[in-house]
Amino acid sequence: MKKYITTLSLAGLLVFNPFSLAVYADSNNVSHQQSVEEGFDLSLKFVLEKAEEDNSNLLLLQYQWEVLKNQKEQTRSDRDSVQGDIRELRDEIDKIDNDYNDALRDYLQRVSDIETEYGDEDSKEKEDALKELEPLENALTVYNEQKSALIKQREALETQLDQYAKGIKQLEIEQTKSTIQREEAKEGIKVMVTSNYINLLMIEEQLKLSQQSLDLLNKELKALETHQRVGLASVSDVRKLNREIETRKKEHDKTIRDFQFELAKFTFDLGIPYQYQANMKLKPVTVKVKELQKPKKYETLIHDSFQMQIADQNLYLAQYNYDNTSAYYEREQHRYNVKIAEEQIKQLEKDLEKKIDTLYYDLDDAIDSYEDAKRNLEYVKQDIQDLATQYRLGLVSKHDYEKAFIEVEQAQFEVAMAEKNYFMMLQLIEAMKKGFFQ
């Protein structure tokens, strides 16, 4: 079964600076006018470099990372300020404790002196002496009230400090996830740009074959018109072939328009100015088809994937919140968040394992398609050699002999398609090894 990779949309992912190609031309000692008039060779290496260099989506992710960094630093600054306030409150509480203890000792000493002077009997003099201690008693009460108020303030700030600590941890994790997402986006853009480039090369191959087929049909038409003039073919036969040529020509022209449209979209997304597109040439990719050993264990591929790295960060955050929460209901909520994160990781492991199996199966299928196409090409070449012998012996006409060469072109087209399909599958596997899964 032959399966070919189709183009992937770049909408929303590839937005580039339209003036940077001129910089590229200047850096390669190519003038702007010369590039436009003589054409511009577009290579896969160049478009990949340009995709990463000027992509606004990557720039946006970088800005988001910077925002998270600034939020984290601001939260740390706020935390440090609260820690300073707590230290000041502790100093005030210590001072109140010292003042309170001094006042309490003075109060107790004066009470002791009154008891010593007046004894245990109640008297008017003793009562008056004790009344003189009321301001000191009031001062002790004020000390306790002040201390209680300061302790409440400290406890509120300590609660706030806990929230800052959790906030900082969450921002650190979000910053880590943002870094992972940016790396994932880089690999994803490479895959999509490569897919679009390969798709353009495939359309070019299709156009070549379509043009060769049209050229052959036009030769047949000339031969048929000659036969018709000498009575060996009917007007109806000529009319039918003309209709077929007209249909094929319309299909060919539509494919040209499709190619130009896809190329325009692709280069526009890359930020390449319109004037470069008219004489632009796509450089072919070098493909060497070979078998690729499938890993016996998938643990490393799964563990290193961007999706698993993000899932691990989610579990880490859920576990941190659970470990650092004391309120029962809130702690229960975080406990279930941990269970959810753990279950998501288990499901992700299964999904990624299936994707790995599918990728290597599709790669093997691409290799089989390539080998089938190569084998068929050899068969067609052998048939052409046999036909050449018949032609030399006068058993077939020159027209029929030349007509058979379209089968060689068709077989070569199938080989080229299979090569590019294999190349694209190989890029998907290489991206997977770097952590990217579609």
Per-residue pLDDT tens for 49-104? 888 887 788 888 889 999 999 999 999 999 999 999 999 999 999 999 999 999 99
Does 295 map to a domain?
yes
At 436, phi and psi to the nearest 5? -95, 125
Has residue 326 been placed in a domain?
yes
Residue 298 falls inside a structural domain: yes
Q: The tokens of 388 are what?
A: 């050449």
Condensed to tens digits (0 to 9), the pLDDT of residues 323-345 reads 998 889 999 999 999 999 999 99
Residue 28 has pLDDT above 80, yes or no: no
Tell me the pTM: 0.76
Task: Dig out the tokens for 42 from the structure.
Answer: 């577009």
Which one has a higher pLDDT value, 302 or 125? 302
Residue 172 included in any domain? no
Is residue 332 domain-resident?
Answer: yes
User: Is residue 240 included in any domain, yes or no?
Assistant: no
Distances in whole angstroms, Cα of residue 359 to Cα of each of 9, 176, 261 = 20, 28, 30
Q: Which residues contact 164 (CB under 8 A, 6 or more apart)?
A: 75, 76, 78, 79, 82
Encoded tokens for 418: 């299979």
Residue 351 lies in a domain: yes
Is pLDDT at 186 greater than 50 in this prediction?
yes
Tell me whether residue 291 is in a domain: yes
> Domain of 422?
287-438
Q: How many domains does the chain have?
A: 1
